[in-house]
Amino acid sequence: MSSRLATVATLVAAVVVAVGAGRPMAGPDAQPPLPPRIVPGDSVLRRGWAVRDSVRYSLTMFRDADEIPVGRLDDVWRLDTIAGVPVVVRVQRLQRGTVQLVDTTITDARTLAPRARRSLQQNRRVLLEFSGARVKGSLAPLDAPPVPLDTTLRVAPFDAGNWELLLRALPLEKDFAARFPVYDLDGGLREYRVQVTGRTPVQGEDCHVVVLTLARNRESVVWVSVATGQVVQIETMLGETTMLRQVRVLR
């Protein structure tokens, strides 16, 4: 996917496939009505959702009859304050062999508005600072000087790599649907959509089944724990015979 899974998003994309090749969706004839649009600070976002958490995932690619281990993702969230404002600090570490990729984000816990992102990817370093609709920062290839970034978007976005935070704050239930603007360094301002299609047990937990649409013809299926809001499993089709699966490791 292109800012994929957002969880793993920048990270997995850098190691496996450029975030952005979801499974084919319905053809152009299917034109369902647009779901409600959600922006940072929207009243639909639940208060008190922010929690400390630490989750480990295994990443596996399935291609034809082959099962290919991709790596391990550690996802840690903690609460903090900056100038009196409560924030969620999230650190994701993707380990693949001897290569480790790190992604750190800071998000306003009350509104889910992004504050900052720092990423060490396979071939570049990323620094972003958000202020409403304005995004500033730099993109630094590992072997070249940094390239400055300063842009003002049409609307204040969420961070494309932090859609899991949004899922925890949304009132998920069957048939719930929403769309929301996100900023993706590689794709700019985009719109993601979520739709809850039902519930099913995964790893012994009752889970919402959520279809996350990243763009036309790009989507993932996400299983979210009803009790905790944790993402338990994600499946993304990267081609007709290739799937990336992210599964929570019980510890």
Q: pTM of the entire structure?
A: 0.86
pLDDT (tens digit, 0 to 9) for every residue of the chain, 251 residues total? 444 444 454 444 444 433 333 444 445 555 678 999 999 999 999 887 877 899 999 999 999 889 999 999 999 999 999 999 999 999 999 998 888 899 999 999 999 999 999 998 878 899 999 999 999 999 998 888 889 999 999 999 999 999 999 999 999 999 999 999 999 988 899 999 999 999 999 999 999 999 999 887 789 999 999 999 999 999 998 888 899 999 999 87
Short-list 165, 208, 162, 160, CA closest to 184: 160
How are beta strands 53-63 and 66-82 bridged, if at all? antiparallel
For position 2, what pLDDT does the model report?
A: 40
Short-list 22, 48, 27, 34, CA closest to 195: 34
For 12-75, what is the HEC assignment? HHHHCCCCCCCCCCCCCCCCCCCCCECCCCCCCCCCCCCCCEEEEEEEEEEECCEEEEEEEEEE
For position 29, what pLDDT does the model report?
A: 58
For position 14, what pLDDT does the model report?
A: 42
Q: What burial class does residue 127 get, using C-beta atoms within 10 Å of its C-beta: 0-12 exposed, 13-18 middle, 19+ buried?
A: middle
**Bridge partners, 209 (sequence order):** 198, 223
Which SS3 state, helix, strand or coil, does residue 163 take? helix
Q: How far is CA 203 from CA 51, 93, 220, 222, 242, in A?
A: 21, 23, 19, 14, 23
**Amino acid identity, residue 171?**
P
Q: How far is CA 217 from CA 6, 20, 90, 212, in A?
A: 16, 9, 29, 11
Which SS3 state, helix, strand or coil, does residue 178 take? strand
For position 30, what pLDDT does the model report?
A: 59
For position 28, what pLDDT does the model report?
A: 52
User: What one-character DSSP code corresponds to residue 165?
Assistant: H
User: What one-character DSSP code corresponds to residue 161?
Assistant: G
